[in-house]
Amino acid sequence: MRRLILAVLIFLGLAVSLVAAGEFGFGPVVITHEGEQKLVRFAGKASPRLEPGISGRWPIPIVSTVITYEKRLLYLNTDALPIQTEDGEFIVVDNYVIWRIIDPVQFYSSFPYKNAALAVEEAQKQIDRVARADVRAEIGQRKLDEVLTTQRTEIMGKITEHSDQSLRRYGIEVKDVRINSTELPEGIRENVYERMRAERQRLARKYRAEGNEKGIEIRSAADRDSKVLVAEARREAEILRGEGDAESARIYAAGFSEGPGCYNFLRTLEAYRKTIGAKTTLILSPDSSFFQLLRDGGELKPLPTTE
């Protein structure tokens, strides 16, 4: 029984030792974690990428070695680069690259170092050369305003696409190329700023002139429309006033024909209202027809008619 227990313990110890050795690339067992890419280099040739988990290999030192690469995104910050734009301006561009290893076998073929850190270092030099060349070429075809403001996102997209295509043959994928900063050299900074201010002022004057011209057009159109509307309103008012006068005359005529006495009565009262005010003094003959309504006790005789 003791021998069995001892044998089990020895077996477990060996298993643990193999797994522990596999963590560091020794022994017949290879442990691959998530976020890692491992290759087994045997007699100078790299095996296909090992999937995450436990794998086996020939535990022969020197002839068989394990190389571990990062599977995650890596960051490369490049040095500042002076570039001349299409319109002849010099700017200093500082950019960075986000990249990763997508094909470790191809990556090892391109950078055949047993030390993964040395391979990544050489890969970053190649990425830096490609990205800097693409940045210089793309920005050299653009004007300063486009680089600084209007088309910066488009420029970075084209640089990223071109760099990615160039580095795929090394087993490298470029996810993004971005500008950290864009600076003007000290000697020309003030001159560039002055030209930019002058250009902005020219555009401001242009926009103000166009606005004033448009305002004059709008005001002129409003004045013209208002005059047309007032004229039409006056014409409509005259038409309505004429129709009202005609209707009034018709009503008076109808009233006179149907009741001459009532018509005379109303016309006499209207004459009193218009001629006799609160402080009006009239001196007239008692026989005046103007006071007929008052003199006869409210009885109004018909007005004489002429034949």
Q: What is the pLDDT of residue 297?
A: 52
Q: Highest mean pLDDT range out of 176-185, 188-197, 240-249?
A: 240-249
Kindly state the average pLDDT of the residues 126-139: 90
Q: What is the pLDDT of residue 52?
A: 58
Q: Is 215 or 37 the better-scoring residue by pLDDT?
A: 215
Enumerate residues 6+ apart whose C-beta is below 8 A from 246: none
Q: What is the pLDDT of residue 257?
A: 72
- Domain 74-183: give its CATH superfamily: Band 7 domain (3.30.479.30)
**Tokens for 178?**
């971005």
Kindly state the average pLDDT of the residues 213-242: 89
The answer, yes or no, to whether residue 306 has pLDDT greater than 60, is no
Q: Is 94 or 193 the better-scoring residue by pLDDT?
A: 94
Q: Is 114 or 228 the better-scoring residue by pLDDT?
A: 228
Positive or negative, the CA dihedral 160, 161, 162, 166 is positive
Kindly state the average pLDDT of the residues 151-180: 90
The answer, yes or no, to whether residue 181 has pLDDT greater than 90, is no
Cα diameter, the chain? 165
What ranges do the domains of the chain cover? 2-70, 74-183
Enumerate residues 6+ apart whose C-beta is below 8 A from 113: 119, 122
pLDDT > 90 in the chain, percent: 18
